[in-house]
Structure 1
Amino acid sequence: MTRDCKYRLTCSICRKRHPSILHDESKSSNKENTEKHSVDEENPSACHIPEIEIVNQLGAGNKSHSSCAMAIIPVKVKLKNRSHAIETYAFFDTGSSISFCTEEIMHQLGGNGKKMEISLNTMGTPHRMSTYALNGLQVCDIDTNSVIDLPTVYTKDKMPVAKTHIPTNEEIVKWPHLNNIVLPDIDGTIGLMIGNNVPDAYTPYDIATGPAGSPHATRSRLGWIVWNLIRKDSITETNAVVNRAQLTAIHENNKLDSLVRKSINLDFPELLIDDKKENSIEDNYFLKQVNESIEFEDGHYQVALPFRNKEVKFPNNVSQGLNRLKGLRNKMTKESEV
């Protein structure tokens, strides 16, 4: 019967004759073709169609016999509408179209990102990793004079640069055109990578240039950034900085969960009541009493006591109060005479 079906579904990932939701990555004969196929939006079906967001990230290059200091400066990061800020170093990657931060920064700020699985293609070698998409992150200069809102930032364990790539004041003082620049020094790690999708962080307000072959610096809203500082005497490093990465963020797991929930709700509509919080009869009775008895008097709101029974009557204890007052008066009179 399946061979005679005129509406057989085609997998949007591998283009084979099965629904996309049943695609098995382990049985795929060609993983590269799996990552390159786009979503066929013109073929609607009842099965799940994953949304794939592809972003190209170009890194900073590599080194040969001489190392190069990277564009790294100290900054402060914080979450929007929060005062808590953390000092860290920010790496400016002009070839990247996205921004990253470390998971340590996210945890220290108390942020909650959307968890997803991404495929990172570095130097032609793809590998999968779990990450968080963090929104509402802000970066400011070390003196907190200028604040810049960052777009969606992805998290990773560590940045593709080390603290040895940070330019120092001892290195730039050798160049006369950089003598007036002082780079702040903090006790922190490199926890942020700012991509080219944050133009406010790259806008130059002042430029310090020198002769050919010398480094230059630009003053941005986040401070002075030193570029192209070559270290000709340092040849001990053997690691190279990433120069190309392709990031594919797949939201398939979240959409699959949503699809399953909708299917269950259609099959068992009585379960929908569990997803909605309702007031009890006593809750509604209490709210009714409050709404009917609330009054504004002498600058304050007054609400009657919410008794279960409206016919409650307190005993007349005026005589008891007067007797108590009389006893206190006699006691205080005797103490004053003594």
Structure 2
Amino acid sequence: MKTEKIAILYLTRGGGRLASRLTPLLPQSTVYPCKGTLRQTIVSCWQEYDHLVCIMATGIVVRMIAPLLADKRTDPSVIVCDEKGRFAISLLSGHIGGGNGLAEKIAAGVGGQAVITTASDVLGHTALDLWAEELGLVVADKPAFTKVMGKLVNTGRVTLYAGFPLSPLPADIVGVDHPEKADLVISCRSKKYLGAVLLNPRALVAGMGCNRHTPAEEFDVALAEACSEHGLALQSVRSLASIDLKSDEAGLLEFAKTRGYHIDFYDRDQLNGVDGVSTSAAVLKATGAKGVAEPAAVLAAGGGRLLVKKMKWKNVTVAIAEISNPLSVS
């Protein structure tokens, strides 16, 4: 689990005393006295830290961070405390950034009160953005997703269609039997449904074969073309797979690194043990494996269903398999 970095900033001697009380509670924190240097310190900490705990007036913090705000998925959380520790206000990035949880931890540690204003928390509803992130779901349309979050707050429930097994749903997320009835649809497909927001799980594995010295760009285009032609969401691709003979293929490795994909490599015996896939005499002669792209995809998907049989684009072959139960895979 990632160790999150916390910056504690204070202006006054009273703030310094509270900072000293917080450091044992937050051992991963660094304390910054900021008298005369607050603006510069906040700017330098903004990109470096996951959380900023500011012991000072809320108005000061708002004015300092306003020019830095970008996106709730990338901004650090900001918690504001008074120097007596009576209140810990979750000011920014409460859900995705973890600010609400940190404010509650601080308040509990110093005997204060956490101030949480996000509607889902106040009303006891599921925080949809946090729920989706915990399941590894990628939101296809963020503005529309925000509207669904508003519907949950206003009506107390939203509907969901999932093409995969799910753990028991929260009480305010109601499962339905067809995507046309849903507010949210979990699917690897790129198809959009009227009135529903698409949530793409990281559930696809791309098996890839290639000629030697194939450039990274060809892998990129081949995968995008395969997804587009078969109506699959490119952002649902979780990882890549190939034969172990390609473990030093520079273009493949560069492509995987650029896109953030893990690659699983399999030997010919493992690949030959997969049934129901296409065979190639040329591949068998060159590698000793009856095929690469299809069996590699199936193996890396844990025996999942082959959605896209091998396709060739220039020097690359690609096949895509779907993990059977991706929402249970970390």
- Structure whose alpha-carbon radius of gyration is higher: 1
Q: TM-score, normalised by structure 1?
A: 0.23
Q: TM-score, normalised by structure 2?
A: 0.23
